[in-house]
Amino acid sequence: MRMARIWAENSYCQRRQVGALVVKDKMIISDGYNGTPTGFENVCEDENNVSKPYVLHAEANAITKLARSNNNSDGATIYITASPCIECAKLIIQAGIKRVVYGEKYRLTDGIDLLKRAGIEVIFLEV
């Protein structure tokens, strides 16, 4: 979890920095932090300091990075420095991830609720 926190510092987003690591068989198989897609400018917020709609969340970046690697997330654990949103929760379920460790509670719990409903082990770990 501390590593995920350090990884979050790579994010160039101003409003919020989130990091995610996917671990399988005690190895980190993917990583991500929130940011714009490859090839886009490294700016997450518009002139009104609102996050751009095409910013990817850290979890989404970590999972989609696996889609073009030789690894896969089936049965893996994901460490996220923040509570996953419902969109990322869907990706986590479909990626076959079995355990979610997250580090920051959010007022909306729909993502966490969905994960639990899918039978995924969810652990809150303060750092």
> Which residues are designated catalytic?
59
Q: Which is nearer to Zn ion, 66 or 88 (CB)?
A: 88
Strands (DSSP E) found in the chain: 19-24, 27-33, 77-80, 99-102, 121-124
Task: Decide if residue 57 touches Zn ion (CB under 5 A).
Answer: yes
Tokens of 41: 């400018």
| CA dist 104 → 19, 40, 96, 107 (Å) | 11, 28, 23, 10
Smallest distance, Zn ion to C-beta of residue 83, A: 9
Smallest distance, Zn ion to C-beta of residue 27, A: 24
Task: Decide if residue 85 touches Zn ion (CB under 5 A).
Answer: yes
Smallest distance, Zn ion to C-beta of residue 84, A: 6
Instruction: Tell me the three state secondary structure of residue 98.
Output: coil
Task: Decide if residue 86 touches Zn ion (CB under 5 A).
Answer: no
Q: Which is nearer to Zn ion, 25 or 91 (CB)?
A: 91
Helices (H), 1-127: 2-8, 58-67, 86-94, 110-117
Binder of Zn ion out of 29, 55, 88, 95 (CB under 5 A): 88
- Where do contacts with Zn ion occur on this chain (CB under 5 A)? 57, 85, 88
